Amino acid sequence: MRLVAAAVVLGLAVGSGTARVVGSADSPSEKMAETVVKMWPAGVVTAVNHPGVWGYEEGVLLDGMAAEWHSTAVGADFKYIKAAVDKYVADDGTIKTFGAEAHSLDSIEMGRAVMLVYQVTQQAKYAKAAKFLEEQLAGQPRTPSGGYWQKETYPNQMWLDGAYMAEPFRAAYAATFQQPGDFDDIAKQLLLMDAKMRDPKTGLMKHGWG
């Protein structure tokens, strides 16, 4: 929970317009970034449910670091993200500790960090890793209406989580590698959630549908 909380607070600080001033400790987002680096140096992040393995908890934290980097252009932030990605992505593009058989949308989330590192470095191994994740989504089980299952262990269940775990990565991949046709299906996933999960009385979204 500390890991997710750190990422959320970091993202909120950046989203509120707080920018890091190099060499200053006054910015809340800078303080949070410094805390992240101190707690998990060299991008080696451990979480309760996924200690030292590829998982969405680390991906959420890296999203916060990426938001900070986009806001300030401090090179150390990008190096941190790259170091975290590099401990999983091998030279041939394979992703260490990735559980493909689980067909879990949670495992796609960290692909956003892979896409960022590829966009900056243009190194082939990151493109290969992103392609693997894109192919993983292509084989993701679906409900009869075409919505992604959240994971193999929950047949025919579509979760709101998928809007965060899978669609941002897929959109970044489609835009980067010029696959505009994918956006129709990306939109379909979100529209299905809106149609099936929104409570007509409150307007609030339910967690899942199946």
Per-residue pLDDT of 91-114, as tens digits, reads: 999 999 999 999 999 999 999 999
| Strands 158-159, 208-209: pairing kind | antiparallel
Residue ranges of domains in the chain:
1-87, 124-210
Q: 143 and 149 in contact (C-beta within 8 Å)? A: yes
Q: Is the pLDDT of residue 11 over 90?
A: no
Q: Please name which of 166, 184, 168, 197 lies closest in space to residue 104, comparing C-alpha atoms.
A: 166
Q: What is the pLDDT of residue 37?
A: 87
Confidence at residue 47, expressed as pLDDT on a 0 to 100 scale: 66
| Residue 25 scores a pLDDT above 60 | no
Q: Which residues contact 196 (CB under 8 A, 6 or more apart)?
A: 147, 158, 209
Structure tokens at 25: 């400790």
- 133-167 pLDDT tens trace: 999 999 999 999 999 999 999 999 999 999 999 99
Amino acid at 80: Y
Q: What is the mean pLDDT of residues 57-67?
A: 93
pLDDT at 42: 67
Residue 194: exposure state from Cβ atoms within 10 A (0-12, 13-18, ≥19): exposed
Which residue, 93, 90, 130, is CA-closest to 111?
130
Catalytic one of 86, 161, 182, 185: 161
Q: How confident is the model at residue 7 (pLDDT cuts 50, 70, 90)?
A: very low
C-alpha distances out from residue 75 to 67, 83, 121, Å: 13, 12, 13
161 is an active site residue:
yes
pLDDT value for 28: 86
Q: What is the structure's pLDDT at 49? A: 66
Please give the mean pLDDT across all residues of the chain.
87
Q: What is the pLDDT of residues 63-72, one digit of tens each?
A: 999 999 999 9
**Which residue in 160, 140, 143, 163 sits closest to 151, CA to CA?**
140
Global pTM? 0.84
